[in-house]
Amino acid sequence: MKTKSIYLLACALALTCFFSCKKSSYLTDGGLSDPKSSLSTYDYLKQHKYHLFDTLIMVIDHYNLKEEVNGAATFFAPTNYSINKYLKVKRDSILQEDENGKYTLDDMYKDITADSLRIYMVKSRVELMTTPEQAAMANNAANTKTAIQRILQPKASGAWSSAPIYYLYYIRVRGALDPPGSTLPADDPTSDIKAQCQTTGIEPSTGGVLHVLNNQHTFIRF
């Protein structure tokens, strides 16, 4: 009886895992989490427990884009790190000519427009497992050239699962879309810029889908 009870418990746990993981958001380590949120896209970003999007919220508010963010079919959200990387690049450039030079968010607002944020809003729903493994064009709200791609990752030793792991990439297309297997160097002005997502498939209450770009991405490199 004891063996039978253990067997039934194992089966129950396996079924629970199957159904709970069937629809999940993906993290960069291949882990899973519940994708559903009771919050709107804007409120999810604003109330993030690690305050990963505080600066992004300031930019959204400055351009009055709350409703557009909530209404986007897909939003690729840059983090505070992404925006700070942009500010640092601009600041470093100024310091080459003026050692007392500064570059703040207010300065950034003078250099960019609302379309700099609309670039991250894709007009169609983008989901990790339905994104092609060959880069494909994706229309954004700023009407610039961007694409999406799903890339299989090499298996790491000690990985928690033997299942294949894919990462989602949002791509700035410069010129024509790079052909498969392209070896153009990253500093080539015609080379596409790929931004990896660190979390994918969050489903806010307002509909659409939210993906979070890797912290290494630099804001508006698109």
Residue-wise pLDDT tens digits, 117-141: 999 999 999 999 999 999 999 999 9
Is the confidence at residue 163, as pLDDT, over 90? Answer: no
Q: Which of 65, 28, 23, 29 is closest to 46 using CA atoms? A: 65
- Mode of pairing for the β-strands spanning 209-213 and 74-77: parallel
- Containing 42, the helix (H) or strand (E) segment is helix 41-46
Mean pLDDT over the full length of the chain? 87
Instruction: Check if the beta carbon of residue 178 is closer than 8 Å to that of residue 135.
Output: yes
Three-state SS at 76: strand
Give the Cα separation of 165 and 175 in Å (integer).
Answer: 30
Give the Cα separation of 87 and 74 in Å (integer).
Answer: 25
